[in-house]
Structure 1
C-alpha cells in the first residue's frame, strides 16, 4: 500500500517561499480562494486567518505548490500528488537542513539552471564533486534553506 504525502517546509514568509519554489520547479501555487470564500461565508474561518497575495485570498501563513500535471481537488485547490506546503513559524532557521530538495537539471543545463535560480533569489554556496554523479552546486533559497542542483 502506498501513502499520500507532502513535504512541509517551515518558513519566515510562506507565501514568498512558495512563489520562489513554484518558479524554480515549474510548479503551480495552489489557489484555495474558493475554499476560503466558502469557509468565510459559513463562519468557519475567521477573517484574521486570511490574507491577500498577488490579488488572491490566501490562508495567512500557509501556501502550497503542486506539480501542474498532478490531480487536485477543484473545489478546494488542494493537490493530490507531488506537493510542498510552506508554513510560517516564529523561530528562525538555525542549522543545516536535514532534508533538502535536489533539482536535476542535467549536465548540459546545470549552469543555466543555476543562473535562473539565482535570478529568482537563490544563492550559490559551493560546488561539490559527487563522483560518478558529476558536479553539483549547493545553493540556498531566499530563506537560506539548502538545496542542490545537479
Structure 2
C-alpha cells in the first residue's frame, strides 16, 4: 500500500513561503477557511490562531500549497495529493538543506524559468554543469536550496 505524504518546510514566514512556492510550482494555496470557521465556532481555536490571507481566514502558523489537479477534502480544504506545508518555527535556517526540490522545466525552458523564479524572490547560488546534467542551484526567499533543471 502506498503511503500518502506531504513535505513539511520549517520557516520564518509560512505565508510568504506559500506565496513564493505556489507561484514557482504553479500550485494552489490551500483554502482551509471552512475548517478554520468550524474550529473557531466550536471554540477549539481562538482568533489569535488566524490571519487573513488573500481575503480569507488562514492559520497563523502554517499553510500549505497543493497541486491543482489533485483531490481536496471539501470539509477541510486540505489537499489529498502532492503538497508542501510551511510551518512557523522560531529558529532561523543555519545550514545547507539535507533535502531539496528539483524543478524539471527542461533544457529549453531552464534559463527563462530561472529568471522567472528570480523575479519571484529566488536567488541563484551557482550554475552546475556535470557530465550528463546541467542545472541551476537557487534559494527561495528564506534561503532553502532547490535546483532548476
The 4+ residue runs of structure 1 with deviation greater than 6 A are none
Q: How does 1:64-83 map to 2 (within 5 A)?
A: 64-83=64-83
Q: Provide the secondary structure at the position in 2 that maps to 1:125.
A: strand
User: Residue by residue, what CA displacement relative to the aligned partner does 1:61-96 show, whole Å, maximum 9, x if unpaired?
Assistant: 101000000001112100000011000100000000
DSSP 3-state at the match of 2:92 = coil
Map 1:53-132 → 2, pairs under 5 A:
53-132=53-132
CA distance in 2, matches of 1:56, 1:143: 24
2:147 aligns with 148
RMSD: 0.7
CA distance in 2, matches of 1:99, 1:145: 9
Is residue 33 of structure 2 the alignment partner of residue 22 of structure 1?
no
Distance in structure 2 (CA, Å) of the matches to 1:53 and 1:74: 19
How far off its partner does 1:20 sit? Answer: 0.2
Structure 1 length as normaliser, TM-score?
0.97
Structure 2 portions without partners, runs of 5+: none
Gaps of 5+ in 1: none
Cα distance in 1 for partners of 2:5, 2:130 equals 28
Aligned residue pairs, count: 149
